[in-house]
A and B are shown apart, each in its own frame.
Chain A
Amino acid sequence: MTASETTVPNEEGGAGDEFLVEARGIVKRFGAFTANDHVDLGIRPGEIHALLGENGAGKSTLVKMIYGSLQPTEGRFFWKGEAVSISDPNTARRLGIGMVFQHFSLFEALTVAENIALALPGAFDMKALSTRITDLSRDYGLPLEPRAVVADLSVGERQRIEIVRCLIQEPKLLIMDEPTAVLTPQEADQLFLTLERLASEGCAVLYISHRLEEVKRLCHAATILRHGKVVARVDPRAETAASLARLMVGADVHAIRPKHARIGGPPRLFLDKLDLPASGPFSVALEGISLELRAGEILGIAGVAGNGQSEFFDAISGERPVERNSAVVIDGTACGSLGVTERRRLGAAFVPEERLGHGAVPAFPLSENVVLTRHAAYEDSGRNLIGFLDFARARSTAARVSEAYDVRKGKPDPEARSLSGGNLQKFVVGRELDRKPLLLLVNQPTWGVDAGAAALIRQALIDLAADGSAVLMISQDLDEIFEIADRIAVLSRGHLSPAYDAHVMTLEKIGLLMGGAHGGSDRVDEARQLREADGHAL
């Protein structure tokens, strides 16, 4: 146990009035559940302060109280040493608190300028505001077009709107909830520069992230929550990612066991110049996607959200069949024009990105959700010989999955929506893995999942590949891709780059491919440069 692990209130002297904002003894209860249990937190001006903790540790609850969206059951907030009651977000904004939400709070049908105007009090002058937005966003390296409609913008651009919306109010405290989850490495770097500049100008930043490396790099102080309680206050620069993870989880996060599988044999998945037209104004068309995935292999598909990931998923899963049957070949059978159920019968399994509503029906119990993906093709599907549903069997399958993948739930067969994100994700992934599929396609396997659950899911994917299956993993988390993928390809504006060996890929190369020019000779040149640089293109 290091000194940093002990709980020391106000490490540096304890003079409460030097804090910009301070929480003292904050308790928040939802019914019988205590989300925050006597939490103390102090942030100084110009400090980038990390708030760390697993899912459900109470970070969001605490932050919502600082921003006035929730009220504490007990305890007080102090602003520049004076007790304040932050009764609503307007009060918070008047004090000088700005917040960038994890799930963006933007209005898709409105323009950038209108979105920002909604958060601003005072005169309503769209023209003057647009000029201010253009100037300020350029000044901070976050360029924005005020007249653009949000629905047409990328996730990175949307985040810029949120940040500029805060900056335009000249905040003294900026709260950022998982800001880099949706950014390319280059965009994240730009964000760090912006935050460092803000801090140097005296603005405090409360930074919530699961990514410990970036916390180490960026933050001056860290408060760690576990089960609603503050368990440590540390200087993250003096810690390692592993020691921070240990503080968050309360035990060692078990390291991923590398797999030792021979990659080879017939291709489990073969894509031959797959094209898929865009399905609507906000959809991306897939063009000429070719890919070969063999038994024992994990292929990671990197890319920034909105570059065709969901279309790619739909084309392979059969949610949107393609015209040319031979464009998709699963385990030797051409199935481009077949639907999801037929493809499942070929031995494929699919885990979509959105676990609630797409991967599972929110109002159905887990057992019925088991039936939904397994009714047509597999044993233990919950369907008996003459086609009636056998719920006892479905329940036992659900129980087996829950047991094997550590799905924590309140009652034996709860509704899907009552599970926390991480537990539902473990269930949805486990339900498919339980079938021992020959091919598993998974989109964002650990999005919004805490470190413990993420490690379990990644290990399960590795074990599946080690048993001779092929895994195709779409992910925006590059650490995750590097951790488990054998080969890496990048999806960018509907084009898939060649797949490179993971050990010759670097963040810089992925970043280049993510933002890479397309269609023309630029792309070819770039690909050639990459190939020449490493001599390892596959």
Chain B
Amino acid sequence: MSTDSALLAVLLTIVTASTPLLLAALGELVTERAGVLNLGVEGMMVMGAVAGFAVALTTGSPYLGIVASALAGAALAVPFGFLTLNLVANQVATGLALTLLGLGLSGLIGESFVGQPGVRLAKIHIPGLSDLPFVGPLLFGQDVLVYLALALAVFVSWGVFRTRAGLVLRAVGDNHASAHALGYSVIRVRWLAVLFGGALSGLGGGYLSLAYTPQWIENMTAGRGWIALALVVFSSWLPGRLVIGAYLFGAVTILGFFVQGLGVGVPSQLLSSLPYLVTIAALVAISRKRGGGGDAPACLGRSFVPDR
């Protein structure tokens, strides 16, 4: 029984570690499907984290915190969209700048919140189901964002592959000149994708400060934005694979802690770098398998200027 409860504890932490990665990566997947590479995921996540924490603390409602985190992520995506889409700035440089801006700005905003106890997002409880041994807490006793993230994965998968809007999104990412020639507004589609990506990144950050560790710590995203970016490549831009990838990376992170806790004679630095090593290995394996570019949207990272 005690091994069961230990296993349950590990699985539960894996779910909470995976959810922010899944949320942020889903947003970036949609952005990249439109052909925009936004390297500012880390910055948008950390803004979501601080905004979610602040609003939840001042209003007392973690749900308002969730909304605030999504809005904050989208808000930080606005300058990125304006610079890269309207002013045709370089997407890589702008995205990197966005990460730095987000980290700095969140530190400034969050200064007074450091050390304050936060509001924790409650886990749901369905009488009967949630009380089942083992599977109850695991499947029916998570917080709403866990379910929202999975529902969003289904929604994005359906939206991207089964609707006209998704078709236009993929078309814009594959060949923006042709999409323009057919009369679609490349800039508008990309703006929407960038805002959606920002909102989901913010949500992922909000999850960190509202559910994962309900407190505000400067730079609390700790590189998760970069893992989310790698996950999008890992998933070869498919939402289904993204879910698997996010949970796999969550598991690797947690297993690192767990092994450390068991006192195995492996340096802790090595264990905590495990997710990043796996990221690199996964990227190499995938790019080898498909001989280069893979299924990346053909216009990924390329600026679009409509002709006269």
Q: Which residues of A contact B (CB under 8 A)?
A: 30, 68-70, 88-90, 93, 101, 105-110, 114, 117-119, 124, 280-281
Contact = CB atoms under 8 A, between A and B. Distances in A.
Nearest to A67: B181
Nearest to A126: B162
Contacts of B307: 69-70
B295 interface: yes
B116 interface: no
A31 to B, nearest CB: 10
A109 B163 contact: no
Nearest to A69: B181
B128 interface: no
A118 B168 contact: yes
Interface in B73-131: none
A30 B174 CA distance: 29
Given A70-B308, A89-B183, A90-B183, A105 B178 contact: yes
B261 interface: no
A68 B174 CA distance: 22
A119 B167 CA distance: 11
Contacts, number: 56
Nearest to A111: B167
Contacts of A88: 183
B181 A89 contact: yes
A280 B164 CA distance: 31
Contacts of B171: 107, 110, 114, 118
**Would you list the 10 A-B pairs with minimal beta carbon distance, nearest first?**
A105-B178, A90-B183, A124-B164, A89-B183, A107-B174, A109-B174, A105-B181, A107-B175, A107-B171, A88-B183
Contacts of B174: 107-110
B198 interface: no
A512 to B, nearest CB: 34
A280 B291 contact: yes
B289 to A, nearest CB: 12
Q: Contact residue range for chain B?
A: 20 to 34
Interface in B283-308: 291-292, 295, 297-298, 307-308
24 contacts: A69-B181, A69-B307, A70-B307, A88-B183, A89-B183, A93-B183, A105-B175, A105-B177, A105-B182, A106-B178, A107-B170, A107-B171, A107-B175, A109-B170, A109-B174, A109-B297, A109-B298, A110-B167, A114-B171, A118-B167, A119-B182, A124-B164, A280-B292, A281-B291
A89 B298 contact: no
B58 to A, nearest CB: 44
Contacts of A105: 175, 177-178, 181-182
Contact of B181 (A30, A101, A117): A101
B175 A106 contact: yes
Contacts of B295: 109
B65 to A, nearest CB: 37
Contacts of A119: 182
Contacts of B164: 117, 124
Contacts of A117: 164, 167
Contacts of B308: 30, 70
A107 to B, nearest CB: 4
Given A109-B170, A124-B163, A118 B175 contact: no
A281 B181 CA distance: 28
Nearest to A70: B308
Contact of B182 (A70, A89, A108): A89
A428 B254 CA distance: 59
